[in-house]
Amino acid sequence: MERSMTVLQIALYHPNQDKGIFEDIPHHLEHDTTHLVIGRGQNAHLKFRLPGVSRHHISLEPYLEKGNICLTFCLKILSRSSSVWVNGLTLKYLERVPLTAVSKVIFSGVQMVIHVEDGASKEKFACCMHFSCSPLIYRAKAEETDEFEDIQEDPEPPQETRELN
């Protein structure tokens, strides 16, 4: 049986979520094929109560690829003042990236994992929100090293201590 709408399963985590930063986010949302705005502004579709989030921080933009019967999505950065990490890429203002079947997004301390489940509708899609009590994304932090520490000098050849007889 074919799913009638594409569903974005969105898992969210923030270390201070107990302070109500996700309070205005619905657990389920149906949306037409216009872009879905995520931010802290009054007209954002998904509102975060977090000072580091811009009024219009990012948007999820559905579109139809030629030859595809399902909606495809890209994520666009709307914040001028902060960057957003998506699947290993750091994006800045007005940059966009296509979402994969599972996309990992980090912005302003918020961790978001988006699972795209295809559906037949070309007029609307649904978002189902899940709130996690533990981190969703683990990124290895780069370690600063002194480049000269990594360069080893060629070892001196061993000197013969025996005398030839």
The separation between the first and the last C-alpha atoms of the chain, rounded to the nearest angstrom, is: 90
pLDDT tens for each residue of 124-156: 999 999 999 999 998 655 555 555 444 444 445
**What is the rounded CA–CA span in Å between residue 84 and residue 105?**
7
For the four alpha carbons of 50, 111, 94 and 38, in that order, the dihedral sign comes to negative
Q: Scan for tokens 């986010």, then name that residue.
A: 25
Amino acid at 113: V
pLDDT tens for each residue of 63-105: 998 888 889 999 999 999 998 999 999 999 999 999 999 999 9
Q: Name the pLDDT band for 114 (thresholds 50, 70, 90).
A: very high
pLDDT tens for each residue of 31-52: 999 999 999 999 999 999 999 9
DSSP 108-146: TTEEEEEEEE--S-SSEEEEEEEE-SS-S---PPP----
* Averaged confidence pLDDT in the chain: 86
pLDDT tens for each residue of 20-33: 999 999 999 999 99
* Residue among 35, 78, 34, 71 at smallest CA distance from 56: 78
The pTM of this model reads: 0.81
Domains of the chain: 5-131 (2.60.200.20)
Q: Is 18 left (phi over 0), alpha (psi -120 to 50) or beta?
A: alpha
Burial (Cβ within 10 Å: 0-12, 13-18, ≥19) of residue 37? buried
pLDDT at residue 65, rounded to an integer:
87
